């Protein structure tokens, strides 16, 4: 039996793509292995968003090359595939710098992987095209599934934030047709999925063609997906503030399946920096938007992304970011030091913020955000919430799942409850998850 090892880095989109590559390789007779040493095909599904992403891939490739050498000595071939956004950005350069790599394939053409593997027997293969045919039409049905599944509804981004590589690596924004999404959702539900997280680089810009010929918004899509038998919960990520329309906000109010959680990156609280970032919104627009979302769904948990030390950021700009965080109140957040990405407009800027200042600002911001997360979790203690049980817990006799607010929750229960939604009384907050016990019934508000 041939074996494939697929390692994924970065965002949920990459997790999804990696799973689909496993499906594809499965159709070709490969079984997945978690042990790289025993793999006939090694796929690194790379991410370009973090600092020195390409350098990290090259150093990982050094290790994979050594492994390929050891396997060759034992008479076994290994095909090395670099997929994902670094593959897209670096292209043939990867083969030059890491000649042990056999296939370089971008995120828009990985459905051709079986063919690329065949061609790789003859020589190196690079495919970083943006083909016009629909990648999703060429992927086999989804295989083993859990209670919570990702579903790609949209890819690419037209926003061109000055710091971001996504519009270059993932390309222009494209939405999948509604009937294809529904068919995938139905298959996922039939396979046991209770929760779907709709993913896309700019998911709330979704504008897919509906079965009625009209263009559907994300709000409309969510309402329709809520009718799929078996689907109890819907989430979506990642959204842009400019694309949070009234219909989507209303879905949070009217549609119980749409979970009270929203990841809505703001990046900065300073209007000057937001303009320099080409974010297309200012801080007060974001505040007012949050007010409207909270008016529709008062208990919604909010999450965000922040960048500190964008070129030209002053202490006053940073203070504005802290003020915005204090005003809004987030249940969780991701924050990063700015670092230039080659090819993006901000990488050309000359007024870089010194590393020590970035570090200080990040520590200050993270202290505030951490305190908000802890306060949010503490406020949940004593409440009864519905938990979707997804997997076995850390210890025997425990199972783990998520609250509606995307908090990790552990309870004592038999593994038979995996895949169900249970009312849980939250009793204690640990450092990474909450603990609770089965309760009678959840209040309607936390459905």
Q: Which is nearer to ligand SF4, 156 or 436 (CB)?
A: 156
Q: Which does 167 bind (CB under 5 to 8 A by kind): ligand 5AD, ligand SF4, none?
A: ligand SF4
- Identify which range of 92-100, 197-205, 335-343, 389-397 contacts ligand 5AD by CB under 6 A: 335-343
Q: Is 227 exposed, middle or buried (0-12, 13-18, 19+ CB in 10 A)?
A: exposed
Q: Least separation, in Å, of the C-beta of 81 and ligand 5AD?
A: 24
- Quote the least distance from Cβ 121 to ligand 5AD, whole Å: 37
Out of 175, 267, 372, 380, the residue judged to bind ligand 5AD by CB under 6 A = 267
Q: Is 324 in the site for ligand SF4 (CB under 6 A)?
A: no
> Contact at 8 Å (CB) between 305 and 266?
yes
- Given a contact cutoff of 8 angstroms between Cβ atoms, the answer to whether 194 and 235 are in contact is no
Question: What does DSSP say about strands 233-237 and 195-199: parallel, antiparallel, or unpaired?
Answer: parallel
Helix spans in 157-216 (H): 166-169, 178-190
CB burial of residue 432 (10 Å; 0-12, 13-18, 19+)? exposed
- d(Cα 339, Cα 227) in Å, to the nearest integer? 43
Q: How many angstroms separate the CA atoms of 424 and 401, rounded?
A: 10
Q: Name which of 124 and 242 has its Cβ closer to ligand SF4.
A: 242
Which C-beta is closer to ligand 5AD: that of 100 or that of 349?
349
Contacting residue, 202, 217, 268, 321, with ligand SF4 by CB under 6 A: 202
3-state secondary structure of 296: helix
**Side-chain-side CA neighbours of residue 175 (13 Å):** 18
Of all residues in the shown chain, the one whose CB is closest to ligand 5AD is 305
Query: Which of ligand 5AD, ligand SF4, none does 424 bind, CB closer than 5 to 8 A by kind?
Result: none
Residue 188 tokens read as 């996922």
Q: Applying CB under 6 A, does 105 fall inside the site for ligand 5AD?
A: no
Site for ligand 5AD in 30-59 (CB under 6 A): 49
Is residue 157 close enough to count as binding ligand SF4 by CB under 6 A?
yes
Name the token pair of 372: 């908000």
Nearer to ligand SF4, 199 or 226 (CB): 199
Q: Which two tokens stand for residue 399?
A: 């199972």
Q: CB count, 10 Å around CB of 444? A: 7
Cβ closest to ligand SF4, residue 349 vs residue 398 = 349
The length of the chain, given as a count of residues: 447
Cα angle 404-406-410, degrees, rounded to a multiple of 5: 90
Nearest to 126, CA basis, from 99, 87, 168: 87
Q: Residue count at the site for ligand SF4 (CB under 6 A)?
A: 10
Shortest CB 243 distance to ligand SF4, Å? 9
Q: How far is the CB of 302 from ligand SF4 (least distance, A)?
A: 17
Residue 286: left (phi > 0), alpha (psi -120 to 50), or beta? alpha
Of 237, 306, 301, the residue nearest 265 (C-alpha): 306
Question: Residue for token digits 């060429």?
Answer: 138
Which among ligand SF4, ligand 5AD, none contacts residue 153 (Cβ within 5 to 8 A by kind)?
none
334 contributes a contact to ligand SF4 by CB under 6 A: no
> Which residue in this structure is represented by tokens 């802890």?
374
Report in angstroms how near the CB of residue 166 gets to ligand SF4 at its nearest: 4
Task: Give me the least distance between CB of 281 and ligand SF4, in Å please.
Answer: 11
Q: Which does 341 bind (CB under 5 to 8 A by kind): ligand 5AD, ligand SF4, none?
A: ligand 5AD
Alpha helices, H only, 147-192: 166-169, 178-190
Q: Which is nearer to ligand 5AD, 95 or 164 (by Cβ)?
A: 164
160 binds ligand SF4 (CB under 6 A): yes
**Does 159 engage in binding with ligand SF4 (CB under 6 A)?**
yes
Q: Rule CB under 6 A: say whether 307 interacts with ligand 5AD.
A: yes
Q: Does 278 bind ligand 5AD (CB under 6 A)?
A: no
* List of E strands, 383-433: 384-392, 398-402, 408-412, 421-429
Q: Interaction with ligand 5AD in 162-191: which residues (CB under 6 A)?
A: 163-164
Which residue carries 């793999």 as its tokens? Answer: 39
Among 94, 117, 161, 365, binds ligand SF4 (CB under 6 A): 161
Q: How far apart (Å, rounded) are the C-alpha atoms in residues 404 and 402?
A: 7
- CA distances, 306 to each of 237, 362, 366 (Å): 16, 9, 10
Given the rule CB under 6 A, which of 11-19, 65-73, 155-163, 430-438 is the region that contacts ligand SF4? 155-163
Using CB under 6 A, which residues numbered 229 to 268 contact ligand SF4? 240
Among 167, 200, 311, 419, the residue binding ligand SF4 under the rule CB under 6 A is 167
Q: Which residues bind ligand 5AD (CB under 6 A)?
A: 49, 163-164, 265, 267, 305, 307, 336, 338-339, 341
Q: Which residues bind ligand SF4 (CB under 6 A)?
A: 157, 159-161, 164, 166-167, 201-202, 240
């Amino acid at each position: 039996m041939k074996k494939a090892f697929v390692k994924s880095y970065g965002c949920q989109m990459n997790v999804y793509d990696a799973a689909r590559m496993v499906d594809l390789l499965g159709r070709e007779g490969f079984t997945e292995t978690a042990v790289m040493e025993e793999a006939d095909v090694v796929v690194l599904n790379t991410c370009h968003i973090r600092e020195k992403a390409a350098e990290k891939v090259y150093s990982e490739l050094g290790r994979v090359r050594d492994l390929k050498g050891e396997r060759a000595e034992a008479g076994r071939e290994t095909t090395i595939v670099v997929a994902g956004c670094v593959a897209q950005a670096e292209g043939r350069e990867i083969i030059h710098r890491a000649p042990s790599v056999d296939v370089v394939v971008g995120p828009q053409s990985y459905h051709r992987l079986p063919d690329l593997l065949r061609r790789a027997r003859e020589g190196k293969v690079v495919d970083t095209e943006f083909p016009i045919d629909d990648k999703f039409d060429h992927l086999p049905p989804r295989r083993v599934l859990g209670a919570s599944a990702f579903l790609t509804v949209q890819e690419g981004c037209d926003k061109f934030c000055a710091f971001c590589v996504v519009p270059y690596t993932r390309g222009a924004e494209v939405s999948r047709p509604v009937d294809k999404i529904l068919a995938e959702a139905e298959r996922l539900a039939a396979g046991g999925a209770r929760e779907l997280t709709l993913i896309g680089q700019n998911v709330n810009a979704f504008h897919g063609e509906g079965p009625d010929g009209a263009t559907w918004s994300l709000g409309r899509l969510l309402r329709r997906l809520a009718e799929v038998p078996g689907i109890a919960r819907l989430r979506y990520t990642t959204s842009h503030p400019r694309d949070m329309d009234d219909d989507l906000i209303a879905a949070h109010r009217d549609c119980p399946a749409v979970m009270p959680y929203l990841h809505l990156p703001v990046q900065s609280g300073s209007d000057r920096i937001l303009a320099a970032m080409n974010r297309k919104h200012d801080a007060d627009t974001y505040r007012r938007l949050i007010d409207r979302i909270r008016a529709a769904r008062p208990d919604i948990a909010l999450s965000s992304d922040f960048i500190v030390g964008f070129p030209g950021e002053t202490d006053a700009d940073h203070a504005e970011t802290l003020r915005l965080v204090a005003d809004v109140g987030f249940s969780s957040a991701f924050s990063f030091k700015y670092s230039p990405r080659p090819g993006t407009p901000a990488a050309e800027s000359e007024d870089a913020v010194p590393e020590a200042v970035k570090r200080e600002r990040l520590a200050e911001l993270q202290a505030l955000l951490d305190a908000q997360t802890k306060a949010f979790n503490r406020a949940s203690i004593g409440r009864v919430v519905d938990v979707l049980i997804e997997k076995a817990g850390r210890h025997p006799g425990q199972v783990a799942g998520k609250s509606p607010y995307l908090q990790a929750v552990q309870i004592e229960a038999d593994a038979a409850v995996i895949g169900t939604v249970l009312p849980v009384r939250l009793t204690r907050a640990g450092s990474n998850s909450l603990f609770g016990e089965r309760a009678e019934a959840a209040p309607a508000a936390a459905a």
